[in-house]
Structure 1
Amino acid sequence: MNEQSPKQASSKLLLPILSAALLISLIFGIVSFKLYFNTQKKIRDLESQSSPNSQLPDEREIKNIMEKAGRHLVLPTGSPQLITVSNVEQLQRDSSFFTNAKNGHKLLIYTNKVIIYDPDMDKIVDIAFISTPASPSAIPSVNTPPAPTVTP
């Protein structure tokens, strides 16, 4: 008869249990490592995406656009907020003011007026008067009285 001592039996059981625990720990570590780095990559991607609020124009760009648009009409006093249209489909769904807008057009946002300017064609696309202080969240709710399109 081949009887094993209790010590030998427990050591034979201990080896598979430790191996399983080590394997589970290793798999958990690899999955955690992968999830961490995927999350970090997503965060970097989101931070690097250009959006109107995350990439502010510099003073030279604002002055340049104001100078070009100012050739076509008298601009309000003060410095406008400048936003580049990047998701025209969403804006067009939210407000009819953006019907003629295209991606790449510039919005000059003053306290009482929003101007859509096309820098490629050097034209004013549309003008709207607003009754609330200018802010990016107020743009889709622009009141749009009929305004002529001014061309050079």
Structure 2
Amino acid sequence: MKRRYIFILIGFCLALILGFAVWRLVFKSEDLNNIQVVTARLSKHMQLPTSEKPSLMATVTDTSALKTPFLKEAKNGDKIIVYEKARRVIIYRPSTDRIVDIGPIELSNIPKN
């Protein structure tokens, strides 16, 4: 009789673990390379420009290559979102769901193709 209860308990625990794993995969997987997902998360923290969509979104992959003082607080995995018309750049850290920095952009220093 005790064996039966042990098997039921083990089965229940396995079902609980499997259910949690499926829930994490289905409901918590966000594509952080999708600009709509990132801007939706950002909009919970600040008012984003409504007159435009971001003209650029990049992911920091090598912090040693970042030379500007504005980007000194960026870490690998951070998102850099640029609003060209609003002249605003935002550094967003998805791992902590926090805005690292917000600053103006100077478009005159960007070389034209």
The residue correspondences of 1:45-124 to structure 2 (distance < 5 A) are 61-77=34-50, 78-80=52-54, 81-91=56-66, 94-111=67-84, 112-124=87-99
Q: Distance in 2 between matches of 1:113 and 1:95?
A: 15
**Could you say which residue in structure 1 is the equivalent of 2:4?**
none
Q: Deviations over 1:95-132 (max 9, x none)?
A: 11112110110011111011000001000000110131
Partner amino acid, structure 2, of 1:98: L
Residues 67-116 of structure 1, C-alpha deviation per residue, up to 9 Å, x if partnerless? 1011111112311111001111110xx21111211011001111101100
Aligned length: 75
Partner of 2:102: 127
The percent of aligned pairs where both chains have the same amino acid is 37
Equivalent residue letter for 2:90:
I
Q: After superposition, what is the alpha-carbon deviation per residue over 1:17-48, rounded to whole angstroms, capped at 9, x for unaligned?
A: xxxxxxxxxxxxxxxxxxxxxxxxxxxxxxxx
Higher strand share: 2
Q: TM-score when scaled to structure 1? A: 0.45
- The two structures have a TM-score, normalised by structure 2, of 0.60
The CA RMSD measured in Å over matched residues stands at 2.1
Please give the secondary structure, in 1, of the residue aligned with 2:39. helix
Give the structure with the larger helix fraction.
1
Distance in 2 between the 1:121 and 1:65 partners?
13
User: How far apart are the structure 2 equivalents of 1:70 and 1:88?
Assistant: 25
- Higher radius of gyration, 1 or 2: 1
